[in-house]
Amino acid sequence: MFRKLKNDELGRISVEQYKEAGKTPFALVLDNVRSQHNIGSAFRTCDAFRIGKICLCGISATPPTPEIHKAALGAEFSVDWEHFDTALEAVSALREEGYTIVSVEQAEGATQLQDFHPDPDKRYALVFGNEVRGVTQEVVDASDNCLEIPQFGTKHSLNVSVSIGIVLWQIILNRL
């Protein structure tokens, strides 16, 4: 038998404890993500995996908004974030901070997600693109690598928030 755990049994840490806790050596870059619900979901997923920060770029909305909060459930307060006019500016700044830039995009020569094994001594900036157009070509050009999520249906397209969850889980699993 299984008994569903109550919220007070989950061992949740406070926002203050989260801010002081060690983070995974990843940053997330959202390249013109249009949906505030997708942005909120990204915050919530980043909180779950203790991602260092989110870079919101271009038309991507920034907290506080009711739509982001609805999906983030408060994770917009725990996860550090900043806004850049373009994703190219964000990846340039992250590269200067020592991050390896990895775009999640269907591209020639892309590494299949299951074959990507991050170097434990490196920090990675993972770029996710607009719901329709994906990661801009100029950001793909500035990337050190591209990752592709294998897909087997007719669409060959996943919602960006779903992609974020899949990629973060797989990369963290490969680091364990």
CA distance 131 to 175: 28
On whether the CB atoms of residues 169 and 114 are closer than 8 A, the answer is no
Indicate the pTM of the whole model. Answer: 0.96
For residue range 82-102, what is the model confidence (pLDDT) as tens digits? 999 999 999 999 999 999 999
CA distance 29 to 42: 10
CA distance 98 to 27: 11
For residue range 109-152, what is the model confidence (pLDDT) as tens digits? 999 999 999 999 999 999 999 999 999 999 999 999 999 999 99
- Which CATH number applies to 20-175? 3.40.1280.10
User: What b/e readout covers 104-124, taking b as 16+ CB neighbours within 10 angstroms?
Assistant: bbebeebeebeebebeeeebb
Report domain extents, the chain: 20-175
